[in-house]
Amino acid sequence: MNEPAQPPSSTITGAEAVVEMLQAHEVELIFGLCGDTSLPFYDALARLPHGMRHILARDERSAAYMADGYARISGKVGVCEGPSGGGVTYIVPGLAEANESSVPLLCINSDISVVARGRYTLTALDQGALMRPVTKWNKVLDRAGDIPAVFRQAFREITTGRPGAAHIALPFDVQNSFVNRTEVWGEAKFGSYPAQRTAPDMNSVEHAAQLLRAAARPVFICGGGVVVSAAESELLVLAERISAPVATTISGKGSIDEHHPLAAGVVGSNGGTPETRSIVDQADLIVFVGCRAGSVTTERWRHPVPGKVKIVHLDVDAAVPGTNYPTAAAVVGDAKLALRMLDEALGDVRRPLDYALVQNAKEKKFAKFQSLAESAEKPIKPERVVAALAGAIDRDAIIVADAGTPCPYLSAYYEPHGAGRRFFSNRAHGALGYSLSAAIGAHLAKTAVKCISVMGDGSFGFSCGELETAARYCLPITFVVIANASYGWIKAGQKSGYGKRYFSVDFAATDHAAVASAFGVKSWRVTEPVNVATTLKEALAYGGPSLVDIVCQPLEEAKAPVSEWIA
């Protein structure tokens, strides 16, 4: 791997062109991991005055999760990179999650040289075929001259329409070849999302407005599309106009300030409760906004009951409305524009605000929660952790919840202040190990705000190497581990559906605080309920990375807000 020849003054190397294309789209951070095939790209990053910062992760999956968390909070494209071979296979989970969660993520994997293809070269694989199912758009480069156009298209693809992930394979010899300098340019607006908004057809908006006028008990169910579109204010104006409760999916948390009297909370089999479900069941019109009406949100298409209630479905993706429910009106377009147009189409319609339905449901829900949150029983109940955390953090704090134990509890019972993305979880695929890395990206997107990662001990085992990353960069993130020495979600499923035939779900208890301390992270271990709140406050106040390991009630013994276990 020799250094590339010096290019003529009118050209730059492919690696340099990649750096300048990222710079042209106002990329600020690159998350990644080095490898042999990436040497020209890394050298260009080291030499050029681009102003970007490279964050070295400990594995490629983590780099992708960091880029995902960064994109969700910053409103900009998240960029991750890695080498060929294992670097490609490791990075796939992050692309799959971002793409299905409508998060704009650009992944660059270096590759073996074009001239080495088909010769059993080490780390060779078909990156295009591998990445096709987990991306919105992908391209394997064959020549350096295509770099500018390919990168421009990638940024356009992932920030317009339904956002998603893009992948570019960058061969070693392409990095060392030359690009005409005049071709290296980009449009900065495609570095943020949504870069272009698509307005819906006015006829469909008018039809939806007619249905809203006629409805006596309309309810909104909002997915992540509201937050992605930054349509929170338009949603609130419309909901207050027709006095409609607003429920959300887990990804849709933040569509409305959950302290607003019309905010019903999360619905569905994960994080939903019978009280919140009752609000959906009494509706005569459901308005899905930026929501796919999938199996979790609708409790396997039982709430709302198909055919019993009219459906208005608003989504930027034309393939979504009508997939799971027959629609009385399908509105295809950007959520911010569509909600604004729908409000205008209602004209002078305005109903008296009635908060009783939502408030009665929330009072019942939180009365049950509070009785468990105040329990002094051991092991510590997860409800106590949620209550203590909510009472200790600032209004602007960001919580990233891993799949498993943290997700249903925080989704159901943690109420962020204000609209916008103050809470998120990886709901597309629910892979363990997401939260720790995604929180690093989220913090770097908004460094002035406290960021908290909450994970189970199963997730900790997937991702604890990134504690070194947090310590190396001295990131003031607080990591909370809910420890029960099992893959609790699966164990609870074995209890409810398989006669308590527990099989291969328990592992040895770990002192996660000791592990974190070895990485250079300030840490505490909590076993007494009375110490939960004070320890969390101390950890949150610490100026560097901190971790609180809390030994909690096993999930199969708890009263988690998961409908199949409650039933």
Q: What is the pLDDT of residue 564?
A: 85
Domain covering 202-357, topology: Rossmann fold (3.40.50)
Would you say 444 and 506 are in contact if contact means Cβ atoms under 8 Å apart?
Answer: no
pLDDT, one tens digit per residue, over 51-85 is 999 999 999 999 999 999 999 999 999 999 999 99
Q: How many other C-beta atoms lie within 10 A of the C-beta of residue 474?
A: 10
Q: Which two tokens stand for residue 15?
A: 């690696």
Q: What is the pLDDT of residue 51?
A: 97
The contacts of residue 331 (CB under 8 Å, 6+ apart) are 200, 201, 204, 205, 208, 312, 313, 314, 315, 321, 338, 342
4, pLDDT greater than 70? no
Which regions of the chain carry the CATH code 3.40.50.1220? 202-357
Whole-angstrom distance, CA of residue 62 vs CA of residue 437: 5
DSSP symbol at 47: H
Helix (H) or strand (E) holding 214: helix 202-214
Task: Assign 8 a pLDDT band (cuts: 50, 70, 90).
Answer: low
What's the rounded mean pLDDT across residues 309-329? 97
Q: How many other C-beta atoms lie within 10 A of the C-beta of residue 257?
A: 18
Distance of CA 117 to the CA centre of its chain: 36
pLDDT, one tens digit per residue, over 467-482 is 999 999 999 999 999 9
Which regions of the chain carry the CATH code 3.40.50.970? 11-191, 374-566
Single pTM value for the model: 0.96
What's the rounded mean pLDDT across residues 279-298? 97
Would you say 33 and 82 are in contact if contact means Cβ atoms under 8 Å apart?
Answer: yes
Helix%, strand%, coil% for the chain, nearest 5: 40, 20, 40
At the fourth CATH level, the homologous superfamily of domain 11-191 is: Thiamin diphosphate (ThDP)-binding fold, Pyr/PP domains (3.40.50.970)
Is the bond preceding 379 in cis, omega lying within 30 degrees of 0?
yes
Q: What is the pLDDT of residue 3?
A: 57
What's the rounded mean pLDDT across residues 375-389? 97
Would you say 324 and 294 are in contact if contact means Cβ atoms under 8 Å apart?
Answer: yes
Q: What is the pLDDT of residue 416?
A: 96
Q: What is the pLDDT of residue 5?
A: 57
What torsion do the CA atoms of 257, 161, 433, 535 make, to the nearest 10 degrees? -20
> In DSSP terms, which residues pair with 457 in a beta bridge?
none
Give the relative orientation of helices 335-345 and 202-214 as an angle to the nearest 10 degrees: 60
Averaged pLDDT of the chain: 97
The contacts of residue 533 (CB under 8 Å, 6+ apart) are 388, 391, 392
26, pLDDT greater than 70? yes
Query: How large a percentage of the chain has pLDDT more than 90?
Result: 97
Q: What is the pLDDT of residue 221?
A: 98
The contacts of residue 435 (CB under 8 Å, 6+ apart) are 400, 401, 402, 406, 425, 426, 453, 454, 455, 459, 463
Q: What is the pLDDT of residue 6?
A: 57
Query: How large a percentage of the chain has pLDDT more than 70?
Result: 98
pLDDT, one tens digit per residue, over 407-448 is 999 999 999 999 999 999 999 999 999 999 999 999 999 999
Task: Assign 566 a pLDDT band (cuts: 50, 70, 90).
Answer: confident
Domain covering 374-566, topology: Rossmann fold (3.40.50)
Q: What is the pLDDT of residue 565?
A: 87
Whole-angstrom distance, CA of residue 459 vs CA of residue 218: 39
